[in-house]
Every structure is written in C-alpha cells, then in structure tokens.
Structure 1
Amino acid sequence: MPAVATRDLASLIAEEAAMLPADKQSSVLDYVLFIKQQVRLEDETEEDGDAIWERLLSDPKKTARVAAWAEEAMKEGPSEPLDLSKL
C-alpha cells in the first residue's frame, strides 16, 4: 500500500475513533497495537521461539498483568491439590 493511502487511511481511522467514547477509543488503540505486534512477530520469522519468549517476558509492560493475576491466584490458594496425573 502506498504511503499516501496509508496516511489517508490512518486519518480516517483517527477521525472515526475520535467520535467514539473514550473507553472505545482506548479499545481501538489497543487493537491497533495488537495488530502491530502481530505484524512484527510475523516479520521476525528468523527469530527462534525461545528468543521471542525471552523478549516478551523481559518487557515489564507485558508481564505486569500476568504478575498481578498470579499474585491474586496465590492469595486465593488452590481449589484442589495439584494432581500431576491430570497434567
């Protein structure tokens, strides 16, 4: 896609998003960032799986929500003892 068309499209997306409530604007931005990340991951086909995980897990933005979830889960405790035969 030519750069001019991309700018026109980006302007149109921004104009449409500006008419949405603030929480929906945030959702649009989150989706755009998600798509951007997916494209970047597709472009990194040369990077092996371990390197991708290392990069993702070393980013505090990406791990903060998982860490918060894990803390909450640990406070609640297990619902039943861990049964390794079920894994």
Structure 2
Amino acid sequence: MPAVATRDLASLIAEEAAALPADKQSSVLDYVLFIKQQSGAKIEPEEDGDAIWERLLSDPQKTARVAAWAEQAMKEGPAEPLDISRM
C-alpha cells in the first residue's frame, strides 16, 4: 500500500476513533497495539511491557470490569477443588 494511502487510512481511523466515547477510543488503541505486536512491529518503549499494564490498570473502566468478573467468579466458586499436583 503506498504511503499516501496509508496516511489517508490512518487519518480516517483517527477521525472515526475521535468520534467514539473515551472508553471505546481506549479499546481502539488497545486493538491497534495488539495488531502491531502480532505483526512483529516494535512497540514504542513507553508502551512496552510494564507501561502497557500500567496504562490498562489505571483505566477505571477496565479495572471495574475485572473487579466485577473476579467478584462473579468468587461467587461461583471453583468448578473443582484445586489440585496442585496437576499444575
């Protein structure tokens, strides 16, 4: 794909993402970073490793969803007792 088409596509993606609510914009960025990582492209150092987790865990909506999931999982309990010998 020529550089001009890529720039136009990137601009279109940015415009569409800007029209979304903030939490959805964050999801778009997460997806783009995921695709970038899967393609073998280098992720910028500030978005590498721990920095990605720090950004994700500092998002109250994401942590609220994880907390809700954990609370539900605790209510349901384990499907079977934990057997350390099977780990």
Give the TM-score normalised by structure 2. 0.51
> 1:59 deviation in Å?
1.2
Evaluate the alpha carbon distance shift between residue 85 and residue 45 of structure 1 in structure 2; reply closer, same or farther with a 3 A threshold.
farther
Deviation digits for residues 40-67 of structure 1 (CA, Å, limit 9, x no counterpart): 6759521230121122112111111111
Where structure 1 has 5 or more consecutive residues not aligned to the other structure, the ranges are: 15-29
Give 2:29's aligned residue: 36
Counting aligned pairs with the same residue, the percent is 58
How many corresponding residue pairs?
A: 66
Where structure 2 has 5 or more consecutive residues not aligned to the other structure, the ranges are: 1-6, 37-41
Q: Which letter maps to 2:45?
A: E
Deviation >6 Å, runs of 4+: none
How large is the RMSD of aligned CA atoms in angstroms? 3.4
Give 1:85's aligned residue: 85
Higher relative contact order (CA 8 A, sep 6+): 2
